[in-house]
Amino acid sequence: MSLSHAIIAACADDTTPLATILRKCVIFATQLKSDDLKNWALHELEGYEPDDEVPSYRRLGITAKGLFLGGWGAQINDQPLPAVVLEEQHRHWATTTEARQGVAALEALVAKDPTGSARVNWPADMVVYYQSKFFQGYALNRAWQEIPIPAIVEIVDTIRTRVLKFMLELQDELGDIDALVSSHKIEQIAPIVQNAFHTTVYGGTAIVASETGEVDARTQTTVIEGDFNALVEALRSRGLGDEEIRQLESAIEEDRSASRLRNKRNVMRWIMMASKKVASATGGAAIDVAKASLTNIISSYLGLPPPQ
């Protein structure tokens, strides 16, 4: 069985550990020379460091609870802690958390008790800081975030499903992927691999870079299907000029006349070219950020399914 088919089969089999699937993805990414896929798979395997930005599917809503001790042996167990009591910079401790562990650790939590919950203790200094700020006559003795294990199940399932969607998208776009790899046609298929990765794994979020090169996740570009003026405005806002816009028009027409607008092969070649200019114009922002942004607005203009 070819590697691509082995990954698809493993994704469809719930008994195959997700870590095994992701290791196959690392090998596959190396063959495709896709750094984005490789880095993502390694992060999912090894976990995310404190300074790493985690994908949105690893951000969870949680409940904070605490143990309070009072006079004469009185105590309050498992008391939900309202976020409003906390200072703004601490409120996330009572509302959200990020699952940064590797997938093997997440699957182990699920296997232990798929319907239970896991605890992440508050720092001791923070417990002391809020010790007397909740209930009069009671002192906060310990506090923790309570994470529902079904939410961890959802993370694991999301990763497995996104790998499956990515592989099926590649299969739909390219046919026999392994034959293309064996025939050393990596550079020709690179734009399609990149597009499939961002739209199925990362979601193709419309994130652009500021003039200083810093990523601004709040910047959104609304381009309605067929609204060429809006498309031009969006492209110019990213530092692209009339020549690049004319080249994009030609690429769209070539794909449309060849009845392959769904594949966007000429359009994807244009995106590869234009993203380098966008990245340079925005102060050296990452090229993959520019690719994701351009892919998103052009898909909207063409009326193709938006990134999920």
Q: What is the pLDDT of residues 116-145, one digit of tens each?
A: 999 999 999 999 999 999 999 999 999 999
- Write out the two tokens for 237: 């806002």
- Write out the two tokens for 137: 């006559």
Rounded mean pLDDT of 190-211? 67
- Picking from 75-84, 116-125, 298-307, which range would have the lowest pLDDT averaged per residue? 298-307
Is 62 among the domain residues? yes
Check residue 144 and give its pLDDT: 97
* Domain end (from 120, 135, 154): 154
Q: How confident is the model at residue 219 (pLDDT cuts 50, 70, 90)?
A: very low
Is 19 among the domain residues? no
Is 225 among the domain residues? yes
**142 shares its domain with 214:** no
Is 103 among the domain residues? yes
**149 shares its domain with 214:** no
**307 shares its domain with 208:** yes
Q: Which of 194, 169, 176, 196 is nearest to 2 (CA)?
A: 176
Is 208 among the domain residues? yes
Give the Cα-Cα-Cα angle 168, 58, 146 (nearest 5 degrees): 140
Q: How confident is the model at residue 305 (pLDDT cuts 50, 70, 90)?
A: low
Q: Are 287 and 198 in contact (CB under 8 A)?
A: no
**122 shares its domain with 211:** no
Range of the domain at 133: 56-154
Mean pLDDT in the chain?
Answer: 85
Is 268 among the domain residues? yes
Rounded mean pLDDT of 89-94? 95
**Does residue 285 carry a pLDDT above 60?**
no
**225 shares its domain with 286:** yes
**62 shares its domain with 125:** yes
**132 shares its domain with 226:** no
Catalogue the E-assigned strands of 19-137. 59-61, 63-70, 75-80, 96-98, 117-121
**Does residue 206 carry a pLDDT above 60?**
no
**Does residue 208 carry a pLDDT above 80?**
no
Check residue 262 and give its pLDDT: 52
Total of domains in the chain: 2
| Total residues found in the chain within this entry | 308
CA distance 193 to 189: 6
Rounded mean pLDDT of 225-233? 81
| Higher per-residue pLDDT: 99 or 292 | 99
Q: Could you give the 3-state DSSP secondary structure of residue 18?
A: helix
CA distance 305 to 308: 8
**Does residue 263 carry a pLDDT above 70?**
no
Check residue 209 and give its pLDDT: 38
Rounded mean pLDDT of 174-181? 87
* Domain end (from 154, 172, 193): 154
End-to-end CA distance of the chain: 30
Is 292 among the domain residues? yes
Contacts of 89 (CB under 8 A, 6+ apart): none
* Domain end (from 122, 154, 186): 154
Q: Which of 142, 148, 146, 133 is nearest to 66 (CA)?
A: 142
Please give the distance of CA 297 from its chain centroid, rounded to a whole number: 18
- Write out the two tokens for 170: 């590649």
Rounded mean pLDDT of 156-167? 96
Contacts of 1 (CB under 8 A, 6+ apart): 9
**132 shares its domain with 210:** no
CA atoms within 13 A on the CB side of 92: 6
**72 shares its domain with 133:** yes
Is 48 among the domain residues? no
Q: Which of 155, 295, 148 is nearest to 234 (CA)?
A: 295
Rounded mean pLDDT of 184-202? 84
